Amino acid sequence: MSLFQHLARTLRPTPFSAMSTFRVARSARSPKLDSNFFGSGTRLGLPRRTYYTNHTSNFSSNMRLIYSFIGLNAGVFAYATYLQEQARQGHQLPFTKFIQNMSLSPIGVIREHRYWTTITSVFSHLGLMHVAGNMLSFYFMGQMLAVTPGFTPGKIAVLVLGSGLAGSVGWLFTAMKNQNYQGRALGFSGSVMGVGTVAAFLYPRTQFMIYGIIPMPLWLLMAGYAVFDGYYLNDRSSRVGHAGHLGGLAFGIVYYFARVRGLRI
């Protein structure tokens, strides 16, 4: 489900790195961190953010959660790689069961009632570049949330799991609409998209170096993915789960305005 493998060579965000933002946030007199995108927080009729109410930082615990998600994805990938090798040697049943329970398909959910695959598929990868690109992107973008006052492991977990689930639902809806009942999807991209969307709202001007060459602000990077995914949404020849990306993005937008901005929607 990944388009984020193209970020596998992305360098650390510059010049406004997450760690430098953390140092500024810790030393600031006011715990409020207004988004640069919305300026003072009064544009578009939006209220000033009151979500961040104390100076307490959860950076260490937040990073432990991020590393845990990365470790979970890496562990599942290692197990899938082992099962693939076993299948090549003639022991195909374990790998077949893995695919049935750890990847998403309309038949699996609707006919076989494997509802858990809407979550288990989020943490499954079969390609090295797929998992590496997702994990690298998640690390950099997740770190930006980890250093933001007011974000706790629980809130980040809700964002990650909610974005992943929304991505699964979005992909299922599009697959059934296009009568792609035999298709399967897996990957952490929906969650990465949700985390990246919130990070882009909070730190829109943070620069990312694509392939170490092309500088791009985070807001433009995420907007570019949204346009790309929207354009190819119904392209049956594409092997990328565009609907899954857009589902994660949609959840990230709702999460930002509902939980971070405190806007009732």
In the chain, where are the structural domains located?
Answer: 4-18+57-260
Side-chain half-sphere of 40: how many Cα atoms within 13 Å? 2
- CA–CA gap between residue 137 and residue 39 (Å, rounded): 26
Asked whether 175 and 183 are in contact (CB, 8 A), the reply is: yes
Query: Residue 3 — pLDDT band, cuts 50, 70, 90?
Result: very low
pLDDT in tens, 219-256: 999 999 999 999 988 887 788 889 999 999 999 999 99
Higher pLDDT, 36 or 235: 235
Cα dihedral across residues 172, 116, 124, 88: positive or negative: negative
Which whole-number Å values give the CA distances from 51 to 87, 106, 212, 220, 253, in the listed order?
50, 38, 35, 25, 16
**pLDDT of 81-137, one tens digit each?**
999 999 999 999 999 999 999 999 999 999 999 999 999 999 999 999 999 999 999
Entry pTM: 0.79
Q: What percent of the chain has pLDDT over 90?
A: 63
Is a pLDDT exceeding 90 seen at residue 46? Answer: no
* Residue located via tokens 């952490």: 188
3 state SS of 217: strand
Architecture of domain 4-18+57-260 in this structure:
Up-down Bundle (1.20)
pLDDT digits (tens, 9 = 90+) for 159-195: 999 999 999 999 999 988 888 888 899 999 999 999 9
Check whether 13 has a pLDDT greater than 70: no
pLDDT attached to residue 264 = 62
Give me the pLDDT at residue 63, please: 96
63-77: average pLDDT: 98
Q: Could you give the CA distance from residue 148 to residue 244 in angstroms, rounded to a whole number?
A: 26
Mean pLDDT over all residues of the chain? 81
Helices 153-177 and 189-202: angle between axes, nearest 10 degrees: 120
Q: What is the full DSSP assignment across 84-141?
A: HHHHHTT--HHHHHHHHHHSB-HIIIIIS--TTHHHHGGG---SHHHHHHHHHHHHHH
pLDDT at 51: 39
Contact 167, 191 (CB under 8 A): yes
